[in-house]
Amino acid sequence: MKNSNRIIAGIFIIFLFLSLVVNIVLPDNLYSESEKRELDQMPDFTLDTVISGDFTSKFDKYASDQFFGRDTWVFAKGLSQYLIGQKKLNGVYITEDRYIRELVVNKERLENNLDAILKLAEKSGKPVTLLVVPEASTIYEDNLPLGETSKENHVIDRVYEKLGGKINIVYPKDILQENKDEYIYFNGDHHWTMKGAYYAYSQMMGTDKAYNFITVAGDFKGTMVTKAGVKLPWIPLDKIEVPEEITNDYFAISVNRDGSDADGEMFYPEFLGEFDKYRYFQGGDQPLMAIGSVGKGASFVLKDSFANVMLPYLALDNEVTYVADTRYNRQSPSEYAKTMNVDEIILIYSPDSLCNEFSLVNLGN
C-alpha cells in the first residue's frame, strides 16, 4: 500500500513538474476564440504587488487562463459534471437537442434601463419602437430540465407596465413559438438565426415576403457550447443560413471606429472560416454604422448583437439606416437622432440585455 501511494505521489509530482516546464516554454495566449475574451497575462512582480496581495490574486487568474491544454481540461470537467447528472453548467441548460442560456434577472438594472428608454423617447421627440427578442429559454421552455422555467415573464410584464402607451412594443414570442420546429435559434449559441429574425421582422413590419434560405457555412460552435464547457456529440454544430435574395450588392456601408470612417459590408464571407462565424454579419458588433440601401426614409437602430441578423431586412426598407451599439458608442442617442433627422428609432434588445447590460443607461443621455 505504501509503495503504491509513493508511486501515485511520484507520478503527480512529475506531472506538476512537466506542466510547469510546458507552461514556461509555451508562449502566453492573448485571446481565447472559444470564450471570446482576452486572457489574463503575467502580472507585474514588485514589492508593492506582493505585499498588497495583488500579485497573488492576479497570478492565480493568469495561471488558470494560460495552463496548457486548458480547453481539454475544461471539457473534461464539464463532461464529468454532466455525467453525474448536472444539466445546468455555468449558466447554460443542456437539453436533449440544444444549449440554452439561463436568464438572470437584475430587477434594479432592468428598472434603470427602462427609465433610460423613456428618457430617449422624451428627449428625441421621435417615434420609438422596442423589439424585445425572446430568449431561447422561453421559446423552448418545454425542453428545460425538470423544475426549471423561463424567467422572462417578469421582464415582459415590467416592459409593458412601464413603457406601454409611451412607445411601440413588439414582442414576437407567439410567432416564434408557432415556428419553433424550424431553424430559428442556434443549437449551441444564444442568438437567433436569420430565419428567426425574419419572423420577428415580419410581425413588426406587417409583411410576409417569402425568402429562400441557403446554407453558407456549417460547423458553427456557439458561445453556449464553450460556456458550458462540454460538447455533446448528439447535439449538432450549427450552420449559418441567409436568404439567397439578399446580398452585399444591396448595401453601401460606412463603419465608424475610433472616430474614423471605413467601408464596411453587410456580410463578411471571410469569417465563415473562423471560429466565431456570427461575425459573418457586419463583421461583428460595430460602434456606429450608416447603411445605404434601396428603400425610403431614415431609421436609427440601437441594439445588441441579436439585431445583427435582422439588419439586412431593416436596411432594405430605408434609404439610410443608422446603427449604434451602446456598448461601444457613448454619444447621446437622442442628439444623434435629431442631427441625422431620422424618421424613427428602433431598439432591438434581448431580455438579458435589458436586465444586465449597464451601458443601456446611456440611452437616456
Q: What is the DSSP string of 231-266?
A: --TTSPPEEEEEETT--GGG-EEEEEETTEEEEE-S
Which pLDDT score, from 0 to 100, does residue 255 have?
97
Which three cell numbers mark 22?
510546458
Q: Read off the pTM.
A: 0.83
Which three cell numbers mark 185?
435559434
Handedness of CA 168, 173, 179, 181 (dihedral sign): positive
Asked whether 289 and 256 are in contact (CB, 8 A), the reply is yes
Strands (DSSP E) contained in the chain are: 31-32, 37-38, 88-89, 92-94, 99-101, 128-132, 168-170, 213-220, 238-243, 252-257, 260-264, 288-292, 298-303, 320-324, 344-349
User: Residue 148: exposed, middle, or buried by beta-carbon count in 10 A (0-12, 13-18, 19+)?
Assistant: middle
Counting other chains too, the contacts that 213-218 makes at CB distance below 8 Å and 24 or more residues apart are: 213/241, 213/242, 213/243, 213/244, 214/241, 214/242, 214/243, 214/244, 215/239, 215/240, 215/241, 216/240, 216/241, 216/242, 216/269, 216/272, 216/280, 217/272, 217/273, 217/277, 217/280
Please list, residue by residue across 219-257, b when 16 or more beta carbons sit within 10 angstroms of its beta carbon and e when fewer do.
ebbbbbbbbbbbebeebeebbbbbbeebeeebbebebbe
Q: Which residue's C-alpha cell is 459573418?
A: 280
Between CA 265 and CA 271 the distance in angstroms is: 12
- In this structure, the strands spanning 168-170 and 213-220 are unpaired
Q: pLDDT of the chain along its 365 residues, tens only? A: 555 556 555 554 664 455 445 445 556 665 555 555 556 677 777 776 767 777 677 666 666 655 555 565 555 566 666 667 688 999 999 999 999 999 999 999 999 999 999 999 999 999 999 999 999 999 999 999 988 999 999 999 999 999 999 999 999 999 999 999 999 999 999 999 999 999 999 999 999 899 999 999 999 999 999 889 888 889 999 999 999 999 999 999 999 988 889 999 999 999 999 999 999 999 999 999 999 999 999 999 999 999 999 999 999 999 999 999 999 998 999 999 999 999 999 999 999 999 999 999 999 99
Which three cell numbers mark 220?
458553427
Give CA separation, 71 vs 88, 232, 233, in Å. 19, 15, 16
Which pLDDT score, from 0 to 100, does residue 356 have?
97
Query: Where along the chain do its domains lie?
Result: 2-68, 99-364
- Dmax (CA) for the chain in angstroms is 83
Which pLDDT score, from 0 to 100, does residue 54 have?
72
Residue 347, beta-bridge partner list: 130, 302
Between CA 319 and CA 310 the distance in angstroms is: 16
Which pLDDT score, from 0 to 100, does residue 9 have?
56
Q: DSSP label at 361?
A: G
Q: How far is CA 226 from the centre of its chain?
A: 13
Type of residue found at 307:
A
Which three cell numbers mark 351?
431580455
